[in-house]
Amino acid sequence: MSTPLTNTAKRLVHGDKAPPCNLVIMGAGGDLTRRLLMPALYNLVRTGLLPDQFSLIGVDRQDLTDEGFRDRLDQAVRSFASEKSYSAEFDETHWKHLLAQVSYVRGDFNDPELYRTLKQRLDGENRDHATSENAIFYLAVASRFFGLVVNHLGQSGLVEEGPERYRRVIIEKPFGNDYESARALNQQILRTLHEDQIYRMDHFLGKETVQNIMVKRFANGIFEPLWNRNHIDHVQITVAETVGVESRAGFYETTGAMRDMVPNHVFQLLALICMEPPNSFCADAIRTEKTKALDAVHVINPQTDIVRGQYRAGSRDGKALKGYREEDGIQPESLTETYVAMKLGVDSWRWSGVPFYLRTGKRMAQRSTEISIEFKRPPFSLFRDTQTEELEPNTLILKLQPDEGASLAFGAKIPGPAIQLGQVHMDFHYKDYFQNAPSTGYETLIYDCMIGDATLFQRADSVEAGWRIVQPYLDLCKEQPDALLEFYPAGGQGPTKADALLETSGRKWRKLS
């Protein structure tokens, strides 16, 4: 990873303890803080990456004392630790050390007084605990507040930087809900903040295996020469979940699979596969290449390139599963999609003519996030009297979830006097080689923000490029909410119509089983 220079003029390297700072979590009474941010901070303090001079200020509208807020976090992190059982022993010493650095400010995001109080609190932390003037404002708030909170931060002088102090803002997803709203939000926050102060969060990018795609491609000599239209037949990206809508009905009804997964998570994977090698591992070099890759993706033609689906009742492992419309909080006539599949092309020298097939869905047969790169067959069949043609093509599968690793499928001779071929797999599992560091996916990203490395955060142009690709689909669904909607049984492979996206060219999806 890069070795960014912060404005404290000290060169920071990944793995160094982060420099002193204050972390202000706006919306700290919410689910994200409880379930993901605090466990991530606990993991960071245990691994020695959190600064010694550190303060965490939680902001929310609930009437809580510092002590009451700390009690809540204490319960949340302990239950998370036992649930995940990622450590034999709960690390009391480090956790208590972190908890002692936590305080609470009650206020309303709309109220200018809140920001004056925050300013005084930050000054106090620095004066009393030498936490420095560095501050990160983490907007763990509903997206309607992003612009408003940034405006207030600007008006109150809280995001002014200086030679000895950084001021950064982490913005959660969703960043906009279509191209125009993402652009408008970018314009609004860029009136207050410089691009390099903004850390647009997509926690998917904090996952080890996602970062490893770049390492696989650019730290090894064998893959890159094959990584192009001359050798690759097509690419499939799958993000399949077995869970349904769970407790997120309100959110999901207005969002759906496309907005929830595609312009952000799935396109980030696509960009990592398609991008050209960057000139360096600096944040902007990488982000420029990723945006260029997305800029080259065809805009979706909803009539030919896409299938959307919604799960109906079904079963998995003999267990009955409800349909989406029967789930709590879901409209019985809902037209929200829980699945999308699409075919995309990339207009670049490297990828011209190579189709990219993407699918994501809930209540699928198997939980699986993977990228499968299918290579072209040999130019002519040497083993004529064998069943070479029946062999599956060489495929490199990058597995991101749940069993992280990679697998290469190729043909081999079956032992015996006759020439018979079979398919074999060369498998690599991360867990066999490296110890799994306990992680919520947020550790890397919070730490990266503290050391000023924006590589794994989305830049304004990249967010807009993602929305641009799907905009014609969003327009169609707005005009005609039932357009293209297919149904699929819960626990299955998705709508059968999605198969046609590939079958017309003699290809097929990898089976989820």
Ligand X SMILES: NC(=O)c1ccc[n+]([C@@H]2O[C@H](COP(=O)([O-])OP(=O)(O)OC[C@H]3O[C@@H](n4cnc5c(N)ncnc54)[C@H](OP(=O)(O)O)[C@@H]3O)[C@@H](O)[C@H]2O)c1
The residues that touch ligand X, with contacts defined as CB under 6 A, are 27, 29-32, 35, 60-61, 108-110, 140-143, 172-173
The whole-angstrom separation of Cα 190 and Cα 184 is 10
Cα dist. 2→284, 286, 468 in Å?
A: 10, 10, 29
Query: Nearer Cβ to ligand X, position 115 or 339?
Result: 115
Task: Considering only CA atoms, give the Rg of the chain.
Answer: 24
Catalytic residue among 129, 203, 265, 298: 265
- Rounded to whole angstroms, the Cα distance separating 474 from 468 reads 10
Give Cβ neighbours of residue 265 (< 8 Å, ≥ 6 apart): 202, 204, 239, 360
State the minimum distance, in angstroms, from the CB of residue 233 to ligand X. Answer: 35
* Alpha carbons 38 and 440: distance in angstroms, whole number: 10
C-beta of 61 vs 316, nearer to ligand X: 61
Q: If you write DSSP's letter for every residue of 449-482 in order, what string do you get?
A: HHHT--TTSB-HHHHHHHHHHHHHHHHHHHH-TT
End-to-end CA distance of the chain: 35
Tokens of 63: 């009437």
List strand residue ranges (DSSP E) for 140-291, in order. Answer: 167-171, 198-200, 232-240
Told to judge if 265 belongs to the known catalytic residues of this protein, a careful annotator would answer: yes
The Cα 441–Cα 173 span in angstroms is 14
Question: Min. distance of Cβ 68 from ligand X in angstroms?
Answer: 14
Which helix or strand (DSSP H or E) is residue 340 part of? strand 339-344
Rounded distance between C-alpha atoms, residue 111 and residue 96, angstroms: 32
CB of 171 to ligand X, least distance (A): 8
CB-based closest residue to ligand X:
30
Looking at the Cβ atoms of 158 and 501, the one nearer to ligand X is 158
* Closer residue to ligand X, CB minimum distance, 15 or 250: 250
Rounded to the nearest whole angstrom, what is the least distance from the CB of residue 189 to ligand X in the complex?
14
Cβ proximity to ligand X, 109 vs 115, nearer residue: 109
- The answer to whether the beta carbons of residues 67 and 99 sit under 8 Å apart is no
Q: Are 373 and 388 in contact (CB under 8 A)?
A: no
Closest CB 441 distance from ligand X, rounded Å: 10
Name the residue nearer to ligand X (CB basis): 111 or 326: 111
In the complex with ligand X, the residue whose CB is nearer, 259 or 292, is: 259
Query: Strand locations in 386-459, DSSP E?
Result: 395-401, 405-413, 421-429
Half-sphere exposure of residue 500: CA atoms within 13 angstroms, side-chain side: 10
Please give the positions annotated as active site. 265
